[in-house]
Amino acid sequence: MENVEKRIIVLGKNYEETYGCEAVHHIQKRIKSKASIEGKLIRKNVEVSPENARDTLRDIAGIRVICYDTNVIYEIAESLKRQDDMEFIREKDYIARPKANGYRSYHLIVAVPFYLLETKEYYPVEIQFRTMAMDMWASLEHRSCYKKSEQEKKRWQEQFREYAALLDQMERDITRA
């Protein structure tokens, strides 16, 4: 995972040198706990094993890249997809097509090589790109809605959709300025 983080840092610095503006605000990393991995495999009706976790789950390792604007997100994501020693698995562009609740982010799943003594294995890493506004929205929405009753979720859903639209407009205005 540090390998992917270093690539993102290098791309961010290259963006700054090329365009003369800051690219990456900060990067967060996490690895799912053993209990969380096992729980997810059980919910998917898959036997719990390290091999099944690697082959079935795409979000065991995760990196969240908080950028200054969406131009940076797309530029760095495209650069990562062109790197020939990682395998591109999937992308979901919730910036271009937000979720119904207003969630916006760009998800990229890549398989990263891990070199062993006599072989090489690929492990998936999920990279989530967000702007600072998208990250703030997601954090507040998660705190207000995650693991809450359906009634509580519905109470907040329309409000968060409106907040997402306002933040999106604010970011567009700032980027144009």
Domains in the chain (CATH in brackets) are 2-133 (3.30.460.10)
Catalytic pick from 22, 78, 126, 150?
A: 126
Residues in the chain where the model's pLDDT stays below 70: 177
Which residues lie closer than 8 Å to 175 by C-beta, 6 or more apart? 69, 70, 71
Which residues lie closer than 8 Å to 24 by C-beta, 6 or more apart? 8, 9, 12, 65, 66, 67, 68, 72, 76
CA pseudo-torsion sign 38, 40, 43, 44 = negative
**126 is annotated as an active-site residue:** yes
Q: Are the CB atoms for 81 and 88 separated by under 8 Å? A: yes
Q: Are the CB atoms for 43 and 7 separated by under 8 Å? A: no
Question: Can you give the pLDDT at residue 152?
Answer: 82
Closest among 60, 49, 34 to 124, alpha carbons compared: 60
Question: Can you give the pLDDT at residue 54?
Answer: 83
Question: Can you give the pLDDT at residue 22?
Answer: 93
Q: Are the CB atoms for 126 and 63 separated by under 8 Å? A: yes
Query: Rounded to whole angstroms, how far apart are CA atoms 80 and 77?
Result: 5
20 phi and psi angles, rounded to 5 deg: 70, 25
